[in-house]
Structure 1
Amino acid sequence: MTAQPDLQATAQTRQAQTPQPAKPRSAISPGRDHRIDAMRGVALLMMFVDHIPQSLLNRFTMRNIGFADAAEVFVLLAGYASWLAYGRGFRKYGTLGCLKRIFRRCVQLYIGQTIMVMVSVLSIRLWRHYTPVPVDFLEPELAHGMSWVWRVMMFDALPSNLNILPLYIVLLAGFPIFYLLMRIHRSLALLLAGALWMLVNLDPGLNFPNWLDPDGWYFNPFAWQFLFALGVSASAETERRGADFPRLDLLAGCCMLYLLFSALQAFPWGQWGLPDLRPFGSMIMPEKSWLSPLRLLDVMAIFYLVQSSARARRWAAESPTGQLLARVGRHSLEIFVVGTLLDLYARLIFNTFGDGWVLQVVVNVTGLSILFGLAAWLDKYRSRQKLAALDKQAKA
């Protein structure tokens, strides 16, 4: 009568001692804030659409309903992600180890920039053998000869639509300095970053030189570093609190009112054949190059409303749409490089064959499908890499 329980106990013991196959793991850790990935995914898709002037879809991006556009969101979230990747890395990997990681990422960004420049120039030069290409597709200085190569590779010349990755490289390379200032005092770091931004707004001539533009870099690094620094500080504060930003009704209401004003003022009423409802009809749109205060307030208002919303957190983590956008945002470099090259080919196609409805549908659907498909493939590839690394560790 006692033999059967003993056999069962022995079987259970053997089963417990037998290595069980590893359960599939998601590429995303449970504590990851998917709102950051989803917002970055939205920004990347909007940049893809905005960089095709002939595309009708760019009438529906955020630049039409506010002072800021996808570039501000991208840089702010780059700062936020930088703290997650490297701010904690100084404690985890040590100073030298983290500096190596930052350098490695800068090299990856530089390779992405090189690929975009080379493919763009070669594609345009090849395309114009068969049909005329407007000069705004490629700066006249770069249209002939190869003397421009060293300038572009040294960031002394930044072609249009290929100028945001150099900004990111400069900001990321300066991250250790900002981190050091934060270690001294977080308020001091933000104060210095804000003072430099304010100085540039008072004197926009303070900029990096650009062989192709006497005004310098389109994205002035001395101004845009403040937005990056705000993202870093927000990420560090969220980590310190261990919770989202508090939802203050008064602050949220002010943000909503400002975004309403921004939408009314920035909306292209004439383009849609609607009455002009701008509160200040003669107001000049805030300057993007040196990140005017109105643009900065716009993106910070959006960021606060999203990051203080528990509903937005659930939506990004649980809804199919939120996860689809987050998947795009998790692979920002690859999506940005491919999206920028797709922009070029879309512009060439529209310029050569017209921008009728059929081509509008074909170009936009094809481009977005490629980006979503690439994000899905990269997600699966990263998951397989992580599982392989875990299996290797288990066997060791």
Structure 2
Amino acid sequence: MIRIKGASFLTMTAQPDTQGAEQTPAAPAIKPARPASGISAGRDHRIDAMRGVALLMMFVDHIPQSLLNRFTMRNIGFADAAEVFVLLAGYASWLAYGRGFRKYGTVGCLKRIFRRCVQLYIGQTLMVVVSVLSIRMWRHYTPVPVDFLEPELAHGLNWVWRVMMFDALPSNLNILPLYIVLLGGFPVFYLLMRVHRSLALLLSGALWMLVNLDPGLNFPNWLDPDGWYFNPFAWQFLFALGVSASAETERRGADFPRLDLLAGCCILYLVFSALQAFPWAQWHLPDLRPFGSMIMPEKSWLSPFRLLDVMAIFYLVQSSPRARKWAADSTTGQLLARVGRHSLEIFVVGTLLDLYARLIFNTFGDGWLLQVVVNVTGLSILFALAAWLDNYRKAKKLAAAKA
């Protein structure tokens, strides 16, 4: 999903607040419409299920030696799990905080956003500290390739303040800083939406386009002269699209309309994307790319080809009543949704498991037996953690209800 230089994303999002929003008047600029018949007003499990899929694919993709990463979405399209997760982060942020401004007031909602940013910062700090210390200790017993850790982090403590201030973003540990920036900017985006629903999206799109014309517009990174791998000035547009889609869905009180022509265009584009991005040589198959000389769209500043890819997937899923029913009623859908409901915890643990899996493969080889042990163990830990967190949350709510 992501080159070694960049981390997977995920946007870690706060859990949507679905209680009481219908009883609170909406802001004039984004007035909710009456729910359409047949559309449940409850939680949309498709968002959680897609986020769960993205988390699991990020876990697999961040282990280069794992054979499972041949089957993730980065092999059948321009976009990968990072784009899916940032888009869903914006979608869920509207549910949690767009409604929150109406329910808790400005000060109360700003406190909730700040609290979530602190949680994300703690998760980032934990991953950095554990990763650096683990690699340094592992090197005492066996050689570790230099690309596991930037040379600036390999010795001393001069790097600490830079990492803590986001002046330095280590490889594979740079997605949570992106989300902190995006979430911190949510109040500004919300304010612009109050002025006019299209104004915020128009300004966001203009900034994204400017970065695609001049990729040098970026945040500085002490560890990389090119700046942040996930350029916040570009990726904010994907987050903004998610926010706007969520606000529009709430306003309509219904899913996006399923337009046959639009759905057909999305499917055709995804077929083109799959043919162009599929690793034909890796599978020893004839090269069926329509444009063999085409360079893969750049991820750092969110190339238009990648943006269209993830938006096509999002529209097909969010306009499908079958996908809604599958996510809500099927066992597989609920298992994936359970993973997606605890995105921050799953991402932090999954990222650390990725590190140890890479160290194990590097030290002991990547034979079939070790492939099975590492992948089954890692995925089992993530599913078990999601189940425990889900049960803990239910028990906590039950205790609160009794109290």
| TM-score of the two chains, using structure 2 as the length reference | 0.90
Q: Is the 8 A contact 2:120 2:176 kept in 1?
A: yes
Q: C-alpha displacement at 1:359, in angstroms?
A: 0.4
Q: C-alpha displacement at 1:379, in angstroms?
A: 0.2
Alignment match, 2:207:
196
2:24 and 2:224 map into 1 onto residues whose CA distance is: 74
1:175 and 1:299 map into 2 onto residues whose CA distance is: 21
1:49 and 1:380 map into 2 onto residues whose CA distance is: 25
Q: C-alpha displacement at 1:186, in angstroms?
A: 1.1
Q: Is the 8 A contact 1:34 1:316 kept in 2?
A: yes
State whether structure 2 residue 282 is matched by structure 1 residue 275: no
Q: C-alpha displacement at 1:9, in angstroms?
A: 37
Distance verdict in 2 for CA 1:345–1:36, change over 3 Å: same
Q: C-alpha displacement at 1:213, in angstroms?
A: 0.4
Distance verdict in 2 for CA 1:185–1:132, change over 3 Å: same
1:297 and 1:12 map into 2 onto residues whose CA distance is: 36
Q: C-alpha displacement at 1:26, in angstroms?
A: 24
Match of 2:182 among 158, 171, 181: 171
SS class of match (1:15): coil
SS class of match (1:270): coil
Distance verdict in 2 for CA 1:320–1:385, change over 3 Å: same
Q: Which runs of 5+ in 1 are unaligned?
A: none
Q: Is the 8 A contact 1:47 1:70 kept in 2?
A: yes
Q: Is the 8 A contact 2:338 2:390 kept in 1?
A: yes
Which runs of structure 1 show a deviation greater than 3 angstroms over 4 or more consecutive aligned residues? 1-30
1:272 and 1:361 map into 2 onto residues whose CA distance is: 20
1:18 and 1:228 map into 2 onto residues whose CA distance is: 20
Q: Which runs of 5+ in 2 are unaligned?
A: 1-11
Q: Is the 8 A contact 1:27 1:382 kept in 2?
A: no
State whether structure 2 residue 74 is matched by structure 1 residue 63: yes
Distance verdict in 2 for CA 1:125–1:28, change over 3 Å: farther
| TM-score of the two chains, using structure 1 as the length reference | 0.91
Q: C-alpha displacement at 1:154, in angstroms?
A: 0.3
1:368 and 1:3 map into 2 onto residues whose CA distance is: 23
Q: Name the % identity.
A: 90
2:335 and 2:362 map into 1 onto residues whose CA distance is: 31
Match of 2:109 among 90, 98, 101: 98
Q: Is the 8 A contact 1:167 1:221 kept in 2?
A: yes
Q: Is the 8 A contact 1:327 1:379 kept in 2?
A: yes
Distance verdict in 2 for CA 1:277–1:387, change over 3 Å: same
1:150 and 1:6 map into 2 onto residues whose CA distance is: 35
Larger Rg computed on CA atoms: 1
2:29 and 2:342 map into 1 onto residues whose CA distance is: 37
SS class of match (2:264): helix
Q: C-alpha displacement at 1:370, in angstroms?
A: 0.1
Q: Is the 8 A contact 1:26 1:383 kept in 2?
A: no
Q: C-alpha displacement at 1:148, in angstroms?
A: 0.2
2:238 and 2:181 map into 1 onto residues whose CA distance is: 13
Q: Is the 8 A contact 2:182 2:236 kept in 1?
A: yes
- State the Cα deviation string for residues 230-265 of structure 1 (Å, max 9, x = none): 000000000000000000000000000000000000
Q: C-alpha displacement at 1:57, in angstroms?
A: 0.3
1:298 and 1:249 map into 2 onto residues whose CA distance is: 18
Q: Is the 8 A contact 1:80 1:234 kept in 2?
A: yes
Alignment match, 2:131:
120
Q: Is the 8 A contact 1:133 1:348 kept in 2?
A: yes
- State the Cα deviation string for residues 323-347 of structure 1 (Å, max 9, x = none): 0000000000000000000000000
Distance verdict in 2 for CA 1:13–1:341, change over 3 Å: closer
Whose helix proportion is higher, 1 or 2? 1
Distance verdict in 2 for CA 1:27–1:139, change over 3 Å: farther
1:32 and 1:164 map into 2 onto residues whose CA distance is: 26
Q: C-alpha displacement at 1:28, in angstroms?
A: 17
